[in-house]
Amino acid sequence: MMVRRATITGLGKYVPPKVLTNKDLEKMVDTSDEWITTRTGIKERHIADNDVPASELGLKAAREALQDSGLTAEELDLILVATVTPDMLFPATACIIQEKLGATKAAAFDLEAGCSGFIYGLSVAASFIESGMYENILVIGTEILSKITDWEDRSTCVLFGDGAGAAVLQPTEKGGLLAFDLGADGSGANTLYLPGGGSLNPADETTIKEKMHYLKMEGNQVFKFAVKRMGQASLDVLKKANLKPEDVDLLVPHQANTRIIDAAAKRLNLGEDKVFVNLPKYGNTSSASIPIALVEARENGLVNNGDIIVLVAFGAGLTWASTVIEWNEGEK
């Protein structure tokens, strides 16, 4: 009996053209290119214009992914958007993109798991496909973190950027998404959060005065969590897929900090040639970081049919997520 799994048949990305460099930030806050580079690995990030919403970035990445897959928007059964910066609390950003795409037959909803959101989204899409409920699913990670960043807070404003990535998933009888490892530790919810704008702290003079509509982060706690979880989640998902670290051809980690990425690679005993990093160009784009990186890894010839690829992320929640893919694009 053949096993029905999900596989990625199309990829797309989009980043805004405006670039904000570390040198630019030196003029805005008390920081330096050396400080940012040595502690994070980031050199620049892309920033959306004030009138551009997350749906616009996601739409452009989605169109590219659909073209890459050979599907039309009308063939989609579901659109799933992972984001912490939706256009608005409701309707779902996925519904806004659905209308602009012309995907009239697709269900649509948003998913929020912080920077782990794209892999969470892949797991949901894979479950729908494996069950036989849907055939063609579009998963998008899109973020405009610049709009929830306090540009006077030097500890956070140097970290984040804007962008979007997307993947089309379809059924396969060989390879594809082999296993997932998802998790959360809610005791760390207060280490990376956006306090204002929800039902706890709705918009009023106090929340605006206290800058509650900007993200807050306890950097040291998040760093320690990420170093521990990124490596462990990678090992755990490989075990679920009956694979070993030496089977891995490429690790595509969440692009948040080069020291965190290095620690994850060390846990897997992977050399630099098997770890994809584009963090210096984009900074942390949250749920968009892994699909953007996956697109660029493929463009660089690092993603080929038969390869074993591990995606791993951590994010607000605190959450973590990983998946193993046996790449088989075009070989369903």
Active site residues: 115, 254, 284
Report the distance separating Cα 48 and Cα 161, nearest Å.
Answer: 9
Choose among 139, 174, 161, 325: nearest CA to 250: 325
d(Cα 10, Cα 169) in Å, to the nearest integer? 7
Residue tagged 């596989």 (tokens)? 7
Pairing status of strand 107-111 against strand 137-144: unpaired
- Paired tokens of 30: 């008390």
* Separation CA 73–CA 136 (nearest Å): 10
CA distance 146 to 26: 17
Single-letter amino acid, residue 116: S
> Does 91 sit behind a cis peptide bond, omega within 30 degrees of 0 on the bond before it?
yes
Residue 16 has which token pair?
């805004």
Dist CA 248 CA 267 (whole Å):
13
Please tell me the number of Cα atoms within 13 Å of 293 on its side-chain side. 30
Q: Identify residue 118 by its one-letter amino acid code.
A: F
